[in-house]
Amino acid sequence: MSFTKSNNPTVDNLINAYNAFDILGLMNDDLRKDSALINVVKKFNSTFKGDAWVLNNYLPFDTCKDALLLAEKGDLDKANLTLIKGVTKGIELFMLHLPSAEEFNDRSAILENAHDLYLQNNHTAAIPLLLIAMDGISNDIANLGLFAQNSDLKVWDSITQYEETFTYIQENFLTKSRTKTNLEEIYLPYRNGILHGRDVNFSNSHVSAKCWNILFTLRTWYIDQKNELYKKKQLENQSDQKNKNEIFEHYLTAFKERSNEANFTDDFGVINVTTKFFDSFGNKKGGEKLSH
């Protein structure tokens, strides 16, 4: 994969770099720890999209990491419960950011009411409000609602669309037709089934938390879309950006030159770069600090 042609260069460039370091024998404990973090980003969406979860700026990263570990051990039920708990933490930050985006803030009364109902475990009332807010917000920011089958959710360099997961959520849950009345309990946010009265037994914390997480994702997608041109320009302006082969050659040459020296240590500046990225990602800034 090209370093510059990826639709998710922030993640893919780091994955490629860590692979290069591993091949060249440059991995140390710090880099292995950071590589494990980017591995969460790489695996989370593909692991959980079938359960209607997607990475975003508000679902706590530690929660995502813990849930992924549980899922890899085969305990998807406990992984889902872990993510639900993480949503409760994420709502607080999400609500704090409402005033910084008019399209979201216009629904503050709806969302505050939904938040109160969610904390009261009144999911029967909270879920329709969350779906209503989603519809209105997405229409305002994209002129085409999340619930329209031909909506275009493409965005460059966004964790929400790593492996096109947000599109998957939209196509498989938000716009999926539910034409028969279903009395069995559902745990997925089938918008049409819920609002059209087909999925009768939808009132639970799973559906409610996933609706909140889709709102988190919509907000993250909105931020990334607004900053898309800026981030592309930043990438283009990085004159020292190298393609994959050049990076391999650069580190291979440096490694050969240094490996024969006494007291050989990592002197490539890699740790500083990766630490900066992961510190900012852990603070929910998604790399360089961008406007909300």
pLDDT at 273 over 70: no
Other residues' Cβ atoms within 10 Å of the Cβ of residue 240:
5
pLDDT at 26 over 90: no
What are the residues whose beta carbons fall under 8 Å from the beta carbon of 239, sequence distance 6 or more? none
Q: Identify the pLDDT of residue 245.
A: 53
pLDDT at 119 over 60: yes
pLDDT at 64 over 60: yes
Q: Identify the pLDDT of residue 96.
A: 96
* Residue-wise pLDDT tens digits, 121-152: 999 999 999 999 999 999 898 776 666 656 66
Q: Identify the pLDDT of residue 152.
A: 66
Q: Identify the pLDDT of residue 158.
A: 83
Query: Would you say 148 and 175 are in contact if contact means Cβ atoms under 8 Å apart?
Result: yes
How far apart CA 129 and CA 148 sit, in angstroms, is 18
Range of lowest pLDDT (25-29, 42-46, 121-125, 219-223): 25-29
How far apart CA 248 and CA 252 sit, in angstroms, is 6
Please indicate whether residue 205 or residue 167 has the higher confidence score (pLDDT).
205
In the predicted model, what is the mean pLDDT of the chain? 81
What are the residues whose beta carbons fall under 8 Å from the beta carbon of 192, sequence distance 6 or more? 147, 175, 176, 177, 178, 198
State residue 199 phi and psi, 5-degree precision. -95, 100
Q: Identify the pLDDT of residue 12.
A: 77
Among 5-14, 173-182, 278-287, the range with the most confident prediction by mean pLDDT is 173-182
State whether residue 107 is helix, strand or coil.
coil
Q: What phi-psi label fits residue 130: left (phi over 0), alpha (psi between -120 and 50 degrees) or beta?
A: alpha
Tokens of 188: 């997925």
State residue 182 phi and psi, 5-degree precision. -120, 120
Instruction: Output DSSP code: residue 4.
Output: T
Tokens of 156: 């460059």
What does the radius of gyration of the chain's CA atoms come to, in whole angstroms? 21
How far apart CA 11 and CA 201 sit, in angstroms, is 39
What are the residues whose beta carbons fall under 8 Å from the beta carbon of 279, sequence distance 6 or more? none
Closest CA to 94 of 51, 65, 58: 58
Please indicate whether residue 163 or residue 167 has the higher confidence score (pLDDT).
167
Please indicate whether residue 16 or residue 172 has the higher confidence score (pLDDT).
172
